[in-house]
Amino acid sequence: MTQLVFTETELKQDHPFAEPQTEAGYRLHGGFDESGTYISPRILNRWPAIRYWQAALSARGWDLLDASQELLKRENYPTRAQQKFLLERDMGSVLWNSLTITGIVEARGKFLATYDAPDMQDIVVEDLSQTCLGHLNKGLLVTHGWDEGGDEDAGIGGHDAMWFAVRDMLFGQGAYPMPEEPDRLNRPEIGRLMPMIPEAHEELLLLMMNVLMIEVRAESFFEFCVQIMRDPELFADRRAEADHAAVIVDRIRADEQSHVAYLQTALSELRSLTIKTVDGATIPGTDMLDRIWQGLTVYHGVTVFDQNRERTRAALIPYMESKPNGAALVAAFDDLEQTRAA
């Protein structure tokens, strides 16, 4: 029987794990069934709910918004070949820093658990009670925040601690000094993009679209990491640990799929609905969202990669130049870069 209305308690519910997840000294979310298969946290009802909402959207004749890897037009930097080059020359601090910063940034995602989101029903003509969009404040944002930054009250780490566990497995705890915590990257101030709706609702929609594209970019990083970690020519003295680190990355990857799915579903639903404007008129959701989504996919698929490359390179090149034969190292490193055409 298809269920389209869920309580917050239902959307937060875990499977009955046979064993909790503990790695490298970190108590982590999720757990394992009787056969040892990993199960993501809080998906007992969350995943079925998302699939039901997607099916209902499809039954009304609407497709899901494109959130595929095809939106990304750049490779990670350093590229996989460049990262391997660095690791083979005892410059593991580059990957160490990257994994540490990833964990720090993931921890910031916990703010979603306490985000005071406006009710989308205020600006939509149609009833939202049986939609993903109508459940944002009924557990979807809270569980997303806990997945990223953990549940401090329960003493359970989320993706932040999982990345630290991955890092420690690859290099050992405290192998390098902690990197400087990165600044929070704010969206450039470009004024209101959806002045036809209240500012609080615009903030929520822009947050959802940006987070969705961050999750799309994350999938590219997951693949980059598992390929590095499973490379038999790397981490020779910690091969078993590196292989297991890749397993943990795949668990994070599995967790993130529900985030992509609910954000993609909610935004796709909004495209199919009728928006009430501040001046008392109504417009199709596609008229409000599509242009902005197209711009954000370019920003995240090209601009952010280019900005990250510039920042990373500004720190990385002087580091390599400080090594013996530094100029030759930089030249060889640059020769390995292959940037996908925009």
Q: Tens digits of per-residue pLDDT, 204-255?
A: 999 999 999 999 999 999 999 999 999 999 999 999 999 999 999 999 999 9
- Are 170 and 90 a contacting pair, CB within 8 Å? no
In a domain, 42, yes or no: no
Res. 187: pLDDT tops 60: no
Give the pair of three-digit tokens for residue 125. Answer: 């003509």
pLDDT digits 0-9 by tens, 268-281:
999 999 999 999 99
Distance CA 156, CA 146 (A): 9
Give the pLDDT mean for 1-16. Answer: 95
* pLDDT score for 68: 95
Angstrom distances, CA of residue 278 to CA of 45, 121, 192, 193, 274: 36, 14, 14, 14, 13
pLDDT digits 0-9 by tens, 116-143:
999 999 999 999 999 999 999 999 999 9
Q: Which residue in 311, 97, 83, 292 sits closest to 206, CA to CA?
A: 292
160 pLDDT band (50/70/90 cuts)? very high
Q: CB-based contacts of 54: which residues, under 8 Å, 6+ apart? A: 64, 132, 261, 265
Task: State the Rg of the chain over Cα.
Answer: 21
In a domain, 3, yes or no: no
Bridge partners, 22 (sequence order): 27
* pLDDT score for 181: 84
- Are 86 and 92 a contacting pair, CB within 8 Å? yes
338 pLDDT band (50/70/90 cuts)? low
Least confident of 43-47, 67-71, 151-155, 258-262: 151-155
Give the pLDDT mean for 27-39. Answer: 98
3-state secondary structure of 313: helix
Residue 58: how many CA atoms within 13 Å on its side-chain side? 8
Distance CA 277, CA 201 (A): 11
Tell how strand 38-39 and strand 274-276 pair up: unpaired
Res. 259: pLDDT tops 70: yes
191 pLDDT band (50/70/90 cuts)? confident
**Which range of residues forms the domain containing residue 131?**
51-181+188-335
Give the pLDDT mean for 50-58. Answer: 98
Res. 188: pLDDT tops 70: no
Q: Which residue has the tokens 């910031």?
A: 108
Angstrom distances, CA of residue 240 to CA of 21, 93, 247, 251: 18, 20, 11, 17
- Are 206 and 193 a contacting pair, CB within 8 Å? yes
Burial 6-21 (b: 16+ CB within 10 A, else e): beeebbbbbbeeeeeb
Residue-averaged pLDDT of the chain = 95
In a domain, 26, yes or no: no
In a domain, 80, yes or no: yes
Give the pair of three-digit tokens for residue 75. Answer: 């490779």
* pLDDT score for 339: 46
Residue type, 232: P
Q: Which residue in 103, 95, 320, 77 sits closest to 228, CA to CA?
A: 95
In a domain, 43, yes or no: no
3-state secondary structure of 68: coil
In a domain, 32, yes or no: no
- Are 228 and 95 a contacting pair, CB within 8 Å? yes
In a domain, 250, yes or no: yes
In a domain, 46, yes or no: no
Domain count, the chain: 1
* pLDDT score for 184: 65
190 pLDDT band (50/70/90 cuts)? confident
DSSP 8-state secondary structure symbol assigned to residue 302: I
- Are 263 and 147 a contacting pair, CB within 8 Å? no
